[in-house]
Chain A
Amino acid sequence: MEQLLSGFIILAQWEVLIALLIGSVGGVIIGAIPGVGAPVAIAILLPATFSFEPIVGLTLLLGIYGSSMYGGSIPAILINTPGTAVNALTTYDGYPMTKRGQGHRALSLAYSASFFGGIFSILCLIILSPVLAWIAPHFGSREIFLAALMGIILVVLAHRGQVLAAGMLACFGVFLSTVGLEPVKYTKRFTFDQTWLGSGIDLIVVVLGLFAISQALLLLIDKEHAPKSTHVEGNLFSGLKELFGIKRVATAASSLGVLMGMIPGVGEFTAQFLSYTYAQKSSKDPDKFGNGSPEGLVASEAANNAVPGAAMIPLLALGVPGEALTAMMLSVFYVHNVIPGPQLFDTKLDFVFALYMALLLLNIFVMIFLLFSTNWLLKIIQIPTRFLGVMIIILSFVGVYSLRNSMTDCMLAAGFGVFGLILKRLNLPVVPIILGMVLGGIMETKFRTAMARVKNPLDFIDRPIAAILFVMILVILVAHVRTVMQEHQMNKQNHDDPDDHVGPETSTQQG
C-alpha cells in the first residue's frame, strides 16, 4: 500500500502528467496519420527524452506507444487505410460498416474496444504484479539468457513466410551488438581500425535509420498520395453500450492480447489474428466477418490494444523486450541507470506502480480526447505523403544529431535508412534486427555469467525455470517444423488436385 501511494506521488508531478498528456494526444495523432506510426515517433523522440527524468521520458514514450493504435483505427475505418500496420485487420470490418453509413458506430465501437483492451491488460498487469515480484528474483543469468533466446526464436518464427530472412536479419542484429570494444577482455571486434567504430554501433542510430529515415526516404521517392477528406456524424459514446452486448468477444480478444503481449517476439499481429479467428469461429453470424461485423471489429481492436500493457511484463520483470518499441524503451531505462529486471520489483516497486498508473491514465486521456476530436483528426491526416517525408527527415535529424553531435552517426543512420528502405520495399522485416541487437547484448552477458557456474551442459537447465524455458524452446521449434511439414503436405495435395490449385504467392512453406 505504501509503495502504491509512493507510486501515485511519483505520477502526480506536473512534468509527468504533461508528458503523459502530450504522449497520449501525440500518439493518437501520429497513429492516425498513415505512414508514420509509433515506431517512427518513438525513434525520433528517444534521444530528446534522455534529458528528462526517467519517469517523464518513459511516460511520454508509453503515451505514444499505448495511444497510437487508437488513432490508427480512424483512417482504417473511414478511408480503408490503416494508420498503423496493426490496424490492418480493422479495415476488414470497419470500412464495410462505413460504406453502409455506420462510420460513427464503427468508430465508437473501435474506441470502446480499444479502451476495454487497454484497461483489461493493465488490470492484468496489476493483478500479476505480486506473482511477477515473486517469480522475477528466480530468474538468474541462465533463465534470462533462455528467455532472450526464446524471444529471438519467436520473433524469427513469427514472421511466417519470411523465416529465413528474419533469421538472417536477427543474426545481423546480434552481430551489430558485438561491434566495438568488447567489455570483458577489452579487445576490438570488427572495428576495421576505425576509431568511430570503437564505441560500437548505437542502437538509437540504427533504430532511427531503420524506422524513421527509411520511412522518410520511401515517402519522398514514392508517388504522392493524400488521404481523402471525410466527416463523421453521430454519437460516439454509443459504442460503450454496444460493447456490453459483445463482452464475450472483447474479453477473449483482450485475454489473447495480454497472453501474446507477454510472450517476447509475438505481439499485436498474432494476438489480432488469433482473436479474430476465435471471434469468427464462435460467432452466430460468421459470414458477416470481413463484411462489416461489429464482433470482428471488436476482436481486432481489443486484442491489439491489450498488447502494450502486457508487453511491459517481460521488459519490467526480466529486462527482456518483446518487440521493437519496448526495445527502444529499454534504452531509456539504461540511460538513467534504472535497470529493468528482477531487482526492479525489489528496489523500485513504486516506480513500477507509477508506470502502471500512467498506462491506466493514458487510456482515459485518449478516450476523452477521441470522443471530442475525431473530426479534427480527420483534417490532420490529410497531409500529403511527400510532405510527411519532408517532416520525418527533418525530425530524424534531431534524433540522430542530438545524441553526440556526430556527423558519423548521421551517415550511419542514413546508411541504415537506405537499408531499411530496401527491406520495406522487399517486404522483409525490420524488427528482428532491433531485437537481435538488444537481445544479442543481453544473451552475450548472461551466457558468459551463467556458463562460469556450469560444469556440464545439463547443469544449465538444472533449475526449474531454466528447465521449463528450455522445454518451451524445444516445443516451439518442434511445433514450427510440424506446421511447416503439414503446410507442405497440404500444398502438395492441392497441387496434385488441379481443381484446387494454390498459386505460388500463397505457398510459403519455409514460414
Chain B
Amino acid sequence: MSRIKTLQELFKRYRRPGDIVFAILFCFFSFFLLSQLEFQTKWVARTKLYAQPSFWPAVSILGMTIFSVLHYIGSLCSPRIAGRWTEVWFWLRSAEYVLYFLIYVALVPWLGYLPSTMSFALFLALRVGYRSRQAILSAVAFGMGVAIIFRAFLQVKIPSGELYNHLPDAVRAFALTYL
C-alpha cells in the first residue's frame, strides 16, 4: 500500500482544468499511431534495423505512447481543479476564429489580397467587440498597411485576385502587380 502511495506521490503534479481530457485524447492518438505503424511504414528486406524506414517513426511513437500513458497517470494522481468542461468549451470556441481565418484564406485568390485583408480586419474588429470609429479605422488601416508592405514592397508570393481582372485597364496592371 505504501509503495502505491509513494508511486502516486512521485507522479503528482500541478494539474490545470481540462488536463485529463487532453491526457486521454493524446493517449488515444498515440495508441492510434502505434496501431498504424505496420500499415503506414514499410519494412524493407535486406536492410538493417537502424536503416529501416519504420525505425524512427517506431521510436518516436513508442516514446509518445509511453510518455502519454505516464502523463495520464500523473493526471489521475494529481489534485483536480474544477472547471474541466468550461475549459474544453474555451478550446472549442477557437473553432469559430479558425473558420473565419479559413474563409479569409479561401477569399484571397478571388477578391485579392488587399480587399480581403481590409475586410477581414474590419470584420474581426467588429466581431471581438470594437465599435468606436478609432478602432474600426485602425483595423482597416492595419489591414491595408500589411497588404501594401508585404505584396507591394516585399513582393511576397501571394496570388493576385480574380476580381482584379474585371478592373478598368488603367488600374488592372497595377492591382495585379501590387495589390
Contact = CB atoms under 8 A, between A and B. Distances in A.
Judge: A and B partners, yes or no: yes
Interface of A: 47-48, 51, 161-162, 164-165, 167-168, 170-172, 174-175, 177-178, 182, 184-185, 187-192, 213, 216-217, 220-221, 224, 386-387, 389-391, 393-395, 397-398, 401-402, 405, 407, 410-411, 414, 417-418, 421-422, 425-428, 436, 440, 443-444, 447-448, 451-452, 484, 488, 491-492, 504-505, 507-511
Contacts of B95: 418
A189 B12 contact: no
A414 B98 contact: yes
B22 interface: yes
A387 B157 CA distance: 26
Nearest to B138: A387
B15 to A, nearest CB: 9
Nearest to A176: B60
A451 B19 CA distance: 40
Interface size class of B (residues with CB under 8 A): 35 or more
B51 A192 contact: no
21 contacts: A51-B156, A162-B13, A168-B26, A171-B67, A189-B53, A190-B40, A213-B101, A220-B124, A387-B128, A395-B146, A398-B150, A398-B158, A402-B158, A418-B95, A426-B16, A447-B50, A484-B10, A488-B10, A504-B79, A508-B13, A509-B12
Given A394-B146, A425-B90, A172 B101 contact: no
A507 B87 CA distance: 23
A213 B156 CA distance: 19
A420 to B, nearest CB: 10
A422 B91 contact: yes
B13 A387 contact: no
A323 B28 CA distance: 29
B71 A168 contact: yes
Question: Secondary structure at chain A's binding surface: helix, strand, loop or mixed?
Answer: helix
Interface string B89-110: 0110111011001101110110
B67 A504 contact: no
B125 A390 contact: yes
B128 A48 contact: no
Contacts of B90: 221, 425
B57 A189 contact: yes
B44 to A, nearest CB: 5
A492 B2 CA distance: 12
Contacts of B121: 390, 394
A414 B102 contact: yes
Contacts of A175: 33, 57, 60-61, 64
